Structure 1
Amino acid sequence: MADSPRQQSLPVTLPGAATSPGEGLPGLPSELRTDVEAALTEALLAERERSSFLSEASRALAGSLNLSRTIARTLHLLVPRFTDDARVVLVTGRSARVSLLRADGESHGLDPVVLPSIPSDVEHVLRSGRHLRAGTALHLPLVARGTAFGTVTLRTAPEDEGALAVLEELVGRAALALDAARLYGERSSVASVLQASLRPPRLPAVPGVRLAARYRAALEHSELGGDFYDVHGAGDDWTVVVGDVCGKGVEAAVLTGQSRQSVRTAGLVDRDPARVLALLNDVLVGSEIDPGKFVTAVAARLRPLAAGGLRVDLASAGHPFPLHLGPGGVRAVPVTGIVAGAFPGAAYDRQTLVLAPGETLLLLTDGVLEARGRDGDFGEERLQRLLDQLARRPGGRHPDAVVDTVLEGVLTHLDGRPHDDIALLALQAGDGA
């Protein structure tokens, strides 16, 4: 049937069907069609270049959480593509950190300058959250999480609308990267302070006693963990504690700090290790920081004897047995008790051990015994054999030799596998006055 005047067929081009910029433009004069094709080709190429630049910029900005490096990358993306002089201004409180890059090849001043007050143009942009032109300069806000925290300033800004659109998109992406770097830096600073306050303390000099300790956290590149040791006291009366907090990482480290401080406080009142652990238990049971967490620990009271040797009073809160290294080899000291923090009002028993001069007591956490290697846990038997051989060697009972040998044996057994926190403390009786 013939088409009626209202039913004439019209050419239709489906989206995505064109194979060239000008295809789908029938009926246009050839010269006009050529011009349109050229304009479309130019627009497609410009869009492709824009997308490629922004993708590369995003990769560069996402490549580091170091604030100075992220600022430098931002400036190098701006200069010389958009301007010959760019600045990144980050505001903290009432001060401003200014980083500058110029394209003259001479003064690439990436080292920041801290201003005691915020420049008025920057303050205006921070308040409004919108860009500001001041003569030939352009200030653009850095906004992340709904807050303007700085600006990007170009001494001379492009006039082309397309270039300005790309610039605004770039600054938006830079803002997210800079905010992430600032947040990471702040958290790293807090973590460093926490780490410094909680890292294992330096061992004091205890009269009549030789001491050595080693610590290895479960988390790689961290000194924070759930195992701890401490030695404190004065004169001829000292307290030693080795403990293991439930959990790993920063959360365990916070509880570790609380436990260590509780033990120190208890030692000011009463150095009896059974009373020290009872007070630690009461503190943990009533804790609002991390209720329900528990701690295993062994506490020892050291009192050197005038004739040589060392009296050691021991108490344990569910902790691995101390190991006594003497001339005849190694034996476990079976001191037991309930874990601290589990039940209110827990009481602990005390045992007394006398170390002859040259004899050594090793305190350790279960990270040693439970270190998992190819053929199972490191275990008590393997540790016993290792220390038995060591105890019979000349100088083998020296505290440094004991802790180093055990740690090396455990790490060899692990062969690079993940492990729990590990703490070792060895004490050796001296020869007396």
Structure 2
Amino acid sequence: MTDAAATVLVVDDSPENRYAIRRYLRGDFDVWEAETGTEGLELALRDPDLILLDVHLPDINGFDVCRRLKQDERTRHIPVLQRSQSHVDDAARVYGLESGADAYLTEPVDPSVLVATARALLRVRQAEDRLRLLNDVGVALATALTRAQVVRVVTETLRGQLGARDGTIYLFDETHRHLLLAHTTLEPVDPRMVRLPYAADTPISQVARTGEAMFGDEATLEAAYPDLVEAYRGNGGGSWAAVPLVAYGTRLGALGVSFPGEAALPDAQRSLLLALAGQCAQALERAGLYEHQHHIATTLQDGLLPRELPEIPGAELAARYNAGARAMDVGGDFYDVIPRGDGWVMVIGDVCGRGAEAAALTGLARHTIRAQAQHLEHPSEIMLALHDAIVAEVGTESARFVTAGCVVFGADGTVRAAFAGHPPGLIARRAGGVEEVPVTGPLLGLLDSPKITDAEARLEPGDALVLYTDGVIEARRGQELFGEERLSALLETVGPRGLSADAIADAIHEATVQHAGSTEDDLAILVLRRV
């Protein structure tokens, strides 16, 4: 959306009429010409700003041409001014307007009326274009989660839709004493421009301080900021604008834009920049809140997972964790590996829900298991102790529950496991094939006296034990789940291929994401491979 001369497509089979219209519109308009309806439809695909359409054409009458233009998604937005020397009664005017014309003139028409009508239709077109642009930007900004994404959307719009040469965005730091460069399309970036003092003598700093927009050209820049004009000319010069970024009464920074050419920005362009800056500021405020909440969630989530996995002699360990598509809340999936005298305790679990309540229950589960793993011998006993802790904390009527799996791994390859309402463990054998370590009890936290038992297995060198949460098998493409069959088919190949624990965890995670495109649910994967 630039300030170039408006393009007008004249569709008329009369050379005399086309010549006359070209004379009427000369100077302010770039005139394209077509002699037939077919040629006019083809040229309309080049998106002129306005179409002057004669009703009487040699191949397709103007009413039908107008109807086709308005039915085509590519051309329906172009205003059409119909003209006719023969269809001059009220019925013809009504028919033309109902065919989609935005205005209808009958000949003879005074040239001043023709030009004034064309200008009026162009004003409507420009207003619609502005609204369409702001709507498109709003849609794009609604999906921009971070401030980095927001500023890229805005600068891309400035260059791609408004004809700007460059766009630059500065935001205040936390102290409000400096403006930090958030994004620029300028290359290379002058190191002195990365951080501007609050009181710096620049248009950006002044606009950010005062909240008042500034518009100018090289001459005004030289008069007010002589130290900046040389660098500005080196970047291309031209007209410029500095617009404040203000959201809900708070000044966030400023937007700087440069345009090729010395012509002053018209009022419509200035108004559009101010509206775009308002959209940008509100999106930046939302993105800042998202980033803050995401930081809190990530910090809490990190505190609920082991910082690193221990080393187990004679075995490899690997884990993968995904907190969901947007990770705005703390997830309920967790895993841990705990050393104890006779071996190692592996645990994986899934707390119902997300957010603060899920985080509290996850913390309770993890700390309970860590404490009880040192005192209780059997995995089933550890799971029952966790059940009792959940009931003591939230009761059995709260509908809050945990699914969990607990495995005691011995140095000789023995495996004792209890899975309470949780997906079963899977053993990928070195020679191929997959064996299931079954579910041995119900969900934790719901029943008064659940019965949980132990299952036993053994890992030979090259075998891998895979624990996972339901986010793996419930990864969804439309209505199609990733499912247990796909997971088992994948694991059947890892033993013969001799994949490491890390490679196995990667393969499961990548297959899950590839199936679903993204993972909305949390998922955790814990792999132990005997070497």
Interval containing the TM-score (normalised by the shorter chain): 0.5 to 0.7
Structure 1 counterpart of 2:383, one-letter code: L
Equivalent in the alignment of 1:230? 336
Whether the 8 Å CA contact 2:171–2:254 is kept in 1: the answer is: yes
Q: Residue in 2 aligned with 1:262?
A: 364
Distance 1:143 1:43, change over 3 A: farther
- Residue 342 of structure 1 corresponds to which residue in structure 2? 446
How far 1:238 sits from its partner (Å)? Answer: 2.7
Q: Structure 1 stretch 177-186 or stretch 401-410: which is displaced more?
A: 401-410
| Whole-angstrom distance in 1 between the partners of 2:168 and 2:519 | 45
Other-structure match for 2:66: none
Bigger Cα displacement from structure 2, 375-384 vs 202-211 = 375-384
Residue pair 1:67, 1:182 contacting (<8 A) in 2 also: no
Pair 1:171 & 2:274 matched: yes
In 1, Cα distance between equivalents of 2:318 and 2:486 = 21
Equivalent in 414, 422, 425 of residue 319 of structure 1: 422
- Give the CA deviation at 1:319: 2.0
Matches of 1:110 and 1:45, distance apart in 2: 44
Number of positions where the alignment pairs a residue of Structure 1 with one of Structure 2: 389
Distance 1:77 1:18, change over 3 A: closer
Scaled by the length of structure 1, the TM-score of the pair is: 0.60
Residue identity matched to 1:143: V
C-alpha distance in 2 between matches for 1:319 and 1:275? 16
CA distance in 2, matches of 1:367, 1:155: 48
Q: Per-residue deviation at 1:240?
A: 0.8
Q: 2:196 aligns with which of 111, 115, 122?
A: 115
**Deviations for 1:4-59, whole angstroms, at most 9, x for unmatched residues?**
xxxxxxxxxx99997359999xxxxxxxx766765565465456446546645764
Check the 8 A contact 1:71/1:178 in 2, yes or no: no
* Equivalent residues in 2 for 1:76-155, closer than 5 Å: 76=159, 88-93=169-174, 94=176, 95-97=178-180, 113-117=194-198, 140-152=243-255
1: CA distance, partners of 2:137 / 2:478: 41
User: Structure 1, residues 337-384: CA drift from partner, whole Å, max 9, x if none?
Assistant: 3312335x7666453747365365443444566678999988778877
- In structure 2, relative to structure 1, the CA distance for the partners of 1:283 and 1:260 (3 Å cut) is same
Residue 240 (1) aligns with residue 362 (2): no
Q: Matched residues in 2 for 1:36 and 1:369: separation?
A: 70
Change (3 A) 1:36 1:143: farther
How far did residue 241 of structure 1 move?
0.8
- Equivalences for 1:304-383 in 2 at 5 Å? 304=411, 309-323=412-426, 332-334=436-438, 336-342=440-446, 349=452, 351=454, 353=456, 355=458, 357-358=460-461, 361-366=465-470
Shift of 1:296: 0.7
2-side partners of 1:86 and 1:381: how far apart? 51
| Distance in 2 between residues matched to 1:55 and 1:185, nearest whole Å | 26
- Structure 1 stretch 116-125 or stretch 317-326: which is displaced more? 116-125
The answer to whether structure 1 residue 205 and structure 2 residue 311 are counterparts is yes
Q: Which residue of 2 aligns with 1:295?
A: 402
By how many angstroms is 1:318 displaced? Answer: 1.7
Q: Is the 8 A contact 1:217 1:420 kept in 2?
A: yes
1 CA distance for matches of 2:458 and 2:269? 76
Report the identity percentage.
Answer: 29
CA change 1:260–1:20 in 2 (3 A) is same
Match of 2:528 among 409, 427, 431: 427
SS in 2 for 1:19: strand
Specify the code of the residue in structure 2 equivalent to 1:318. Answer: G
| Alpha-carbon offset, residue 242 of structure 1 | 1.7
Aligned counterpart, 2:104: 19
Say what the alpha-carbon RMSD is for the aligned residues.
6.1
Gaps of 5+ in 2: 1-93, 225-240
Note the alpha carbon deviations across 1:188-241, whole angstroms, 9 max, x for none: 57536745764776533112434345567775999x965443223367543211
Tell me, yes or no, if the aligned pair for 2:351 and 2:401 is still in contact at 8 Å.
yes
Tell me how far apart the structure 2 counterparts of residues 126 and 411 of structure 1 sit (CA, whole Å): 43
- Say if 1:21 and 1:40, in contact at 8 Å, map to a contact too: no
> Structure 1 residues 279, 113: closer, same or farther in 2, change over 3 A?
farther
How far did 1:144 drift? 3.5
Cα distance in 2, alignment partners of residues 89 and 385 from structure 1: 52
CA shift at 1:298, angstroms?
A: 0.8
Letter of the 2:152 partner, please give it: R
Equivalent-residue separation in structure 2 for 1:44 and 1:429 (angstroms): 76
Letter in 2 for 1:242: I
Out of 139, 155, 170, the position equivalent to 1:72 is: 155
Q: Which has the higher contact order (CA 8 A, sep 6+)?
A: 1
Write the letter of the residue equivalent to 1:113: V
Is the Cα contact below 8 Å between 2:246 and 2:281 reproduced in 1?
no
